[in-house]
Amino acid sequence: MSRFVAASLVAIAVSLGAGTAPFQCGSSNDPALRREDTAGDALWDLAQEFRKKGNEQAARETLRYLVEHYPSNRHVLAARAELEGSGSETKAAEPAEVKGAETSDK
C-alpha cells in the first residue's frame, strides 16, 4: 500500500510541476525585455568592433552577412545605410546585390 501512496505522490508532484511550466517559461517578443542578444545583434556588435579596430573590410563583410541572413533584424536598416554610404563606386554597388539576394530567397 505504501508503494501506491508514494507513486501517487510522485504523480501529483509531476502534474503540479508540469502545470506551472508555462508560467515559468513565458517568453516575450518585445526587444526591450529580451535578456539575450540575437545572432543579428551579435553580428552588428561584431561589425562595430571591427570598424573600431580599423578593419573596414571585415566590418563590411559582417554587415553584408547580417543583411543577407537576418533580414528582419532591427539593425538591418542601419547596416544597409552603412554599406551604401561607403563612398567607393564598387562598394556602393554591393547593397544592391544584397537587396536582390533577399528578394530571390522569398
pLDDT exceeds 50 at position 1:
yes
Q: What percent of the chain has pLDDT over 70?
A: 58
Average of pLDDT values for 36-46? 91
Q: State the chain's mean pLDDT as an integer.
A: 75
pTM for this structure? 0.52
For the CA atoms of 35, 39, 45, 49, the dihedral, rounded to the nearest 10 degrees, stands at 130
pLDDT exceeds 90 at position 63:
yes
Confidence of residue 12 (pLDDT cuts 50, 70, 90): confident
- Domain-wise residue ranges, the chain: 37-106
